[in-house]
Amino acid sequence: MNVRYLLRGAVRSYMAVGVVFSLLLFAAVFVYGYERGLRESIGRFEALRAKAERVRGATASMVSVMERIKGMLPDDYDGRTHRELMLLTLDAVNERIRGRVSVANFVEESGEIRLPVHMEIPVKRYSTFVSHLAYIQSRGLPRFRIESVAVTRMDVWPWLVAKIDGAIVLPSTRLGEAPETSVPVVGGS
C-alpha cells in the first residue's frame, strides 16, 4: 500500500506542477502578446507624432506664404473691386514710365481676371528702359505679366521706343475666398 500511496502523491504533485506550469506558460504567452501589441502601439504613436510634426511644419509654411501674399496686396485690397485695383495699378505704372498706354476689355478665364495692356515707352537710354521693366516686374498684386517686349531704335528723338505687350492679372477670387467649383453628386438622380 505504500507504493500506491507514494504513486498517488507523486501523481498529485505532478498534476499540480503541470497546472502551475500551464498557468505560467499561458501567462508568458499573454505577456508576450501584450508586449508585442504595446510595441506596435508605440510605433504607431511615434509615426503619428512624426506626421503631426510634418503637418505642423506644413501649416507654418502655409501661414508664412499667406503672410507674404498679404504683404504683396495693396493696403486698400478689401475696400476695392478687382477691376479698380487693376486700373489703379495701370495708373501707377503709367505715372512712373510716362508712356503711351492702350488697353483692351477685361477678360475673365482660367480663374483669373486679365486686363490686356499695350505700352509704347520713349526712352533716351537702354538703362532707363531696363529700370522701367524692373519696376513693372517688381510690383506686387495685381501682377503685370509681360508677354512680349520689343525695342526699336529711332533716327530722331526719342532714340529708343520700347513696346511692351502684357496684361495686369489678378486671381478671380478674393484672397481668403474659396473658388466656386461644381461637385458632382454621386448616386443622385
DSSP class per residue in 55-119: HHHHHHHHHHHHHHHHHHS-TTGGGS-HHHHHHHHHHHHHHHH--EEEE---EEETTEEEEEEEE
For residues 108 and 59, give the distance between their C-alpha atoms in angstroms, rounded to a whole number: 31
For residues 27 and 19, give the distance between their C-alpha atoms in angstroms, rounded to a whole number: 12
pLDDT, mean of residues 84-107: 83
* 136 neighbors 146 (Cβ within 8 angstroms): yes
Q: Is the pLDDT of residue 73 over 60?
A: yes
Check residue 40 and give its pLDDT: 92
Check residue 188 and give its pLDDT: 46
* 144 neighbors 72 (Cβ within 8 angstroms): no
Band of the pLDDT at 22, cuts 50, 70, 90?
very high
Q: What is the pTM of this model?
A: 0.53
For residues 129 and 132, give the distance between their C-alpha atoms in angstroms, rounded to a whole number: 5
For residues 173 and 17, give the distance between their C-alpha atoms in angstroms, rounded to a whole number: 80
Q: How many CB atoms lie within 10 A of CB 159?
A: 14
pLDDT in tens, 152-163: 887 777 678 888
For residues 137 and 139, give the distance between their C-alpha atoms in angstroms, rounded to a whole number: 6
| C-alpha of 43 from chain center | 29
Which residue bears the cell 486698400?
76
